[in-house]
Amino acid sequence: MLRSALFIALLAVCALDRAPAADDPQQALAALCRRLGTEMTAADRFWTAGEDGFLFLLGEIRHAGAGPFWGDAAQQASQSRREPFRDPLPVIIDTHRQLAAMGIELVLAPVPNRPQVYPDRLPGSDLEPVAGSDRHHQDFIAALRQADIAVVDLLPALRAGRAEDAGQGPVSCRADTHWSPRGAAIAAAAIAAAIADRPWLQALEREDFITMEHELTVIGDLARMAGQEQGETLPLVTVLGADAAPLRPDPASPILLLADSHGLVFETGGDMFAEASGVAAHLALNLGRRIDVLARRGDAITTIRRDLSDRFYDDHAWRAGKRLIVWCFAERQYTETAGWMPIRLDE
């Protein structure tokens, strides 16, 4: 336990003290985003227009420029006003340990920050989506894995999907803070590949699903913020059950997707645009088994864990049926949250 804590502290210190070269892609992206964030804050604007119709949120810009965001560095990087709750690492480790004590595996699958996926679409950018621009996140993933937490790094898969954008649509919405339907499907495939080898999962009976391809025009949250009336058209694949109805979460499933609005977008219809076409439906499609979903808009950090604790308390049979939780939230929430508060899951 002590060796693990020392290793994690050392990673944080090394990440904080490291002085990258001027041509370091991490430094270049951070410097651009710090400048953009300063300009946006001074202008009291929560969005900025980039290239090729892309719009970016102030929070994702700020996070891309924040630098190391755990350990002592969290006090400077976090936007939370509550100093004791700025560091995400202890809370994630504690959540993992609480769930492990219940016999539930935690798999972390953070949604990559859009400036990392599309740095070349930032205003005034001459950057490319290359490895090394997310060094701080790689250091953080290493710290999580040192604590025996399974992490699915979705950035390589989304960057690889970018290379096939022509004619298929982007992996991120241009004028919305979420991934596109295609990006959600790519992420679901990566998550499924990371968890499919569990023997208990392989022993479950597989189900055949139907897919339907079509296009959808959406006006995203950033487009509405910017007063745009013209939407963007995105290809999507809807997942249907054998009854040809859109796939729904299965409360009896041993797999739970715990998520922010990335677990709702293209899943629940209404202002989430479409049904059964997002990460949850595609995770079920890739696994050949329905999953359960507990998701909320905005905060998948503290409030969603309160939701999980309440559900555990209210429904012991539901808790007993869970074997694996995929925790999925926007990476910007590492620093752009009200705070990483510890939550007891067994009360």
* Token couple for 228: 């745009």
H or E element at residue 69 = none
CA distance 68 to 112: 15
306 touches 265 (CB < 8 A): no
- State pLDDT tens for residues 243-299: 999 999 999 999 999 999 999 999 999 999 999 999 999 999 999 999 999 999 987
- State pLDDT tens for residues 43-85: 999 999 999 999 999 999 999 999 999 999 999 999 999 999 9
Please give the angle made by the CA atoms of 133, 135 and 139, to the nearest 5 degrees: 165
Q: What percent of the chain has pLDDT over 90?
A: 86
Give the neighbor-by-neighbor strand order of the sheet with 292-295: 150-151, 105-108, 324-328, 255-259, 292-295
Task: Give the residue extent of every domain in the chain.
Answer: 2-334
Across the chain, mean pLDDT equals 92
- State pLDDT tens for residues 130-149: 878 889 999 999 999 999 99
Q: What global pTM score does this model have? A: 0.92
pLDDT of residue 133: 85
CA distance 185 to 67: 29
Confidence check: pLDDT of 335 > 80 = yes
DSSP assignment string, 265-299: TTTB-GGG--BS-SHHHHHHHHHTS--EEEE-SS-
pLDDT of residue 146: 97
DSSP state of 180: P
Confidence check: pLDDT of 343 > 80 = yes
CA distance 75 to 60: 18
- State pLDDT tens for residues 290-329: 999 999 998 789 999 999 999 999 999 999 999 999 999 9
Lowest mean pLDDT across 21-35, 55-69, 129-143, 200-214: 21-35
* Token couple for 214: 């079509």
pLDDT of residue 22: 46
Confidence check: pLDDT of 1 > 80 = no
pLDDT of residue 300: 80
- State pLDDT tens for residues 157-182: 999 998 776 678 899 999 999 999 99
